[in-house]
Amino acid sequence: MANCRLCGEKAGWFKDVHPACIEAVNAGVAEIKSAVTSAVEQIAQGGTPTIQSSIEQVIADKRIPRESANAAIVESWSASVTEVSLREPLPVEKQTAFIKLTEQLGFTQQELSKTDGFRSAVFSMLLWALTNDVTELYANNMSHSPFNCEPGDLPIMFFGSVVYSQETTTRSRVGGYGGLSVRVAPGVYSHFGGFKGQQVERVAMKEIDYGGMLLTTGAMYFGGEHTTFRIAFDNIISFRAQEDGIGFSRKTGHGIPEVFSVLQPDKDGKPTPAPAMFGWFLFNATQLLASKKRSTS
């Protein structure tokens, strides 16, 4: 007869856990998530919550395995911070407070750096810095830029894995002959009469290059395997929101839509489309910077 892996008492034949213990753990995990979500919201409203002792008490009372408790903390923190960060640009003080909340619970910034919550908070804080011209929050973040930027273009963020695509249009005619078909040989027919058809256009995005993209205060830089160029914000006539990147149409080049799709490695290291907050950040940041460029020109 095995012992329950949660409480240590006899679990009965062919069992390693009591159903009541599982229920207690699930209830405790829900309490942890609720406490973390509430703490994030308090910070968003200007509060300074302290929840370490209450969460440790729940873990002890409900006999929650540390691994399950940590997963619940990170999941709820990331989801609630993402929700708050996407509401409006996040002042640096609140972004810092969100990080300190997890440090209070024993997590490091490095452990959280790949979560949606951490990325959303950084992006939101950068939007706040750009809106309020707090250049020190981004001007010195990059030790080395792969581009020789023009004077006045302050680097903000570099995206190292980007697919550059252009919109292409192909035209063809489809239809058939309107006259008679006369058999002239087995399997071969001669058609009489005019061809009746209509023109069909097909629009698609064609991948042009792969490389890195640098967002600066004055322009977007792209450097790929085959081409390198700079898109000044005052040369953009329209912006296109993309879930995993950003799209533009320039004054030059007949306004052909161009799309820059950011890739991120998945858990196996394979490149995959970046989460939606990348597109959210790039769309808002480029529009904001273009607006600032217009107001100063």
pLDDT for res 251: 87
Task: Decide: helix, strand or coil at residue 221.
Answer: strand
Please check the confidence at residue 198 and state whether its pLDDT lies above 80.
no
pLDDT of residue 193: 47
Mean pLDDT, range 249-275, rounded to an integer? 89
Q: Is the pLDDT of residue 137 over 70?
A: yes
Banded model confidence at residue 20, pLDDT cuts 50, 70, 90: confident
Closest alpha carbon to 205 in 164, 145, 263: 164
Q: How large is the C-alpha radius of gyration of the chain?
A: 28
Q: What is the pLDDT of residue 100?
A: 92
Residue range 21-33, pLDDT digits in tens: 777 788 889 999 9
Q: Is the pLDDT of residue 144 over 90?
A: no
Tens digits of residue pLDDT in 73-103: 999 999 999 999 999 899 999 999 999 998 9
Q: What is the mean pLDDT of residues 261-271?
A: 89
Give the pLDDT of residue 203: 64
Residue type, 94: K
Confidence of residue 143 (pLDDT cuts 50, 70, 90): low
| Pairing between β-strand 195-216 and β-strand 219-224 as defined by DSSP bridges | antiparallel
pLDDT digits (tens, 9 = 90+) for 155-189: 999 999 999 999 876 555 554 445 545 454 554 44
* pLDDT attached to residue 172: 52
- The mean-pLDDT minimum among 9-18, 45-54, 157-166, 192-201 falls in 192-201
For residue 55, the model assigns a pLDDT of 92
Angstrom CA distances, 113 to 22, 74, 99, 160, 197, stand at 31, 11, 10, 16, 57
Mean pLDDT of the chain: 84
Q: How confident is the model at residue 119 (pLDDT cuts 50, 70, 90)?
A: very high
pLDDT at 171: 58
Domains of the chain: 2-135 (no CATH), 143-167+204-296 (2.30.29.30)
The confidence score (pLDDT) of residue 31 equals 93
Structure tokens at 120: 């959303």
> Which pair of tokens denotes residue 151?
């004077």
pLDDT confidence tier of residue 105, bands split at 50, 70 and 90: confident
Report d(CA 237, CA 248) in Å as an integer.
8
Contacts of residue 176, Cβ cutoff 8 Å, sequence gap at least 6? 195, 196, 197
Whether 100 and 42 have beta carbons less than 8 Å apart is answered as no
SS3 per-residue string spanning 38-107: HHHHHHHCCCCCCCHHHHHHHHHHHCCCHHHHHHHHHHHHHHHHHHHHCCCCCCHHHHHHHHHHHHHCCC
The pLDDT of residue 65 is above 50: yes
Question: Bridge partners of 270?
Answer: none
Q: What percent of the chain has pLDDT over 70?
A: 80
The closest of 231, 228, 92 to 153, measured between CA atoms, is 231
Higher pLDDT, 82 or 205: 82
